[in-house]
Structure 1
Amino acid sequence: MDGLITFLGENGFTVEQQETIATQFHRHELKKGSQFLQEGQISQQLGFVEKGLFQYFCNRNGDEITSYTAGPGDFLISLTSFLKQQPARETIRALTDSVVWAIHKRNFDQLRQTIPPFEVFYVGVLEDQIACIEDSRFNLLTLTAEQRYQKLLEEEPNLLQEVPLQYLASILGVTPRHLSRIRGQIR
């Protein structure tokens, strides 16, 4: 919970607000391969990753298409499913043994109503998520695979150590074989 409390403090919540918010989160330990959310389910919780690494993916014609990874200090959420209470279009799975602090949607909504700074914080998180999604989409449409890999090297080098090659390839929109060639050329 220390990571969550620190995160809340860094985002301007008073000690009292931090404690009120933190009591609404519950600790979950997930083993490698466990799912935080299954494609087709309606997301009822938002998670804060204390420890571990997660993969967002969907199944298309028997292939896993990885769209995103999340690690310590990140939130786990299927945004559309959580906000609109629609079936999730992706699965969120633990790639390592993990610890997540999760809050149920009804408690999340209650915090938005009772703690005004929480609503401001919520809007900020949404804006960050939207910007991240737009950036990812723009990069996929306008950059070559080599440029996307180079950008990943510069902005998130830790992913290259932590995320298996097949998931990185999927995120970059290439096959694992193509990613291996790119890595060989850039080294």
Structure 2
Amino acid sequence: MNELESYIHHHFGISQDDCQKVSGLFKPEVIEKGNYFLRTGKFCNKLSFIESGILRVFVKLPEKEVTQWIGTAGYFITDLQGFMFRNTSRFDIQALTPTRLFTIDYEAYLTMGRLVPKWHEFEKLFTGKCFVMMENRIMDLISLTAEDRYQKLFEQNRELFNQVPLQYLASMLGMTPETFSRIRRKMVS
């Protein structure tokens, strides 16, 4: 069982046989460091599971870039709004490290319901998990202090602090690089 099959089986309770049917629709993809998974204004025609590597989801504003998410191994990556509703992407998604993915294109994604009869139940669960994750991020941004957001990210994804430029982490946490550095110095001492 590969990482994708293991994830699907563990998080959605799909049988091993159905996991193999689903994972068979995903194709290996490699993105070199600095290359893009998706560019703003392009149609998002793929959904990928990150096997290894780090991807940054961000938007370019006139005065700055804002990091929306840092995707790591064991997570799915796409512009969900673009993928599901066939809109152009609002985000750039760029590899911060060499990245290995399992990728399914939109047309293959649509065939899952025929291959796995219970797929639509699992799809609702997947979309629900994405929604809850975003709700939790929003709640953290509006209810936690900058120090608490920093500490939570550090506890959950300690490895990012050595692999991702700190200004990207600061942006994802909704703070300036200066505030991030001040908190980091305080936490280290």
Q: TM-score, structure 2 length as denominator?
A: 0.92
Cα contact 2:21–2:116 (8 A) shared by 1: no
Structure 1 regions of 5+ residues with no counterpart?
A: none
* Letter of the 1:87 counterpart: T
Give 2:112's aligned residue: 111
Give 1:148's aligned residue: 149
**2:97 is aligned with 1:99:** no
Give 1:132's aligned residue: 133
Once residues 111 and 56 of structure 1 are traced to their aligned partners in structure 2, the CA distance between those partners, rounded to angstroms, is 26
Give 1:14's aligned residue: 15
Q: CA deviation at 1:53?
A: 0.6
Give 1:33's aligned residue: 34
Q: Which moved more, 1:75-84 or 1:139-148?
A: 139-148
Cα contact 1:3–1:50 (8 A) shared by 2: yes
Q: CA deviation at 1:18?
A: 2.2
Q: TM-score, structure 1 length as denominator?
A: 0.93
Give 1:166's aligned residue: 167
Once residues 173 and 88 of structure 2 are traced to their aligned partners in structure 1, the CA distance between those partners, rounded to angstroms, is 25
Q: Which moved more, 1:147-156 or 1:132-141?
A: 147-156
Cα RMSD after superposing both structures: 1.6
- Deviation per CA, 1:23-64, whole angstroms, max 9, x where unpaired? 211111110011111111111110011110110000001522
Q: CA deviation at 1:94?
A: 0.7
- Deviation per CA, 1:109-151, whole angstroms, max 9, x where unpaired? 1103441232222111111111111111122122221121122
Secondary structure, counterpart of 1:116 in structure 2: coil
How many matched pairs? 187
Cα contact 2:47–2:78 (8 A) shared by 1: yes
Q: CA deviation at 1:19?
A: 2.2
* Letter of the 2:7 counterpart: F
Once residues 158 and 121 of structure 1 are traced to their aligned partners in structure 2, the CA distance between those partners, rounded to angstroms, is 30
Give 2:49's aligned residue: 48
Once residues 84 and 130 of structure 2 are traced to their aligned partners in structure 1, the CA distance between those partners, rounded to angstroms, is 13
* Letter of the 1:145 counterpart: A
Cα contact 1:54–1:92 (8 A) shared by 2: yes
Once residues 9 and 134 of structure 1 are traced to their aligned partners in structure 2, the CA distance between those partners, rounded to angstroms, is 24
Q: CA deviation at 1:155?
A: 2.7
Secondary structure, counterpart of 1:102 in structure 2: strand
Give 1:5's aligned residue: 5
Cα contact 1:46–1:102 (8 A) shared by 2: yes
Cα contact 1:57–1:68 (8 A) shared by 2: yes
* Letter of the 1:18 counterpart: C
Sequence identity (%): 30
Cα contact 1:113–1:119 (8 A) shared by 2: no
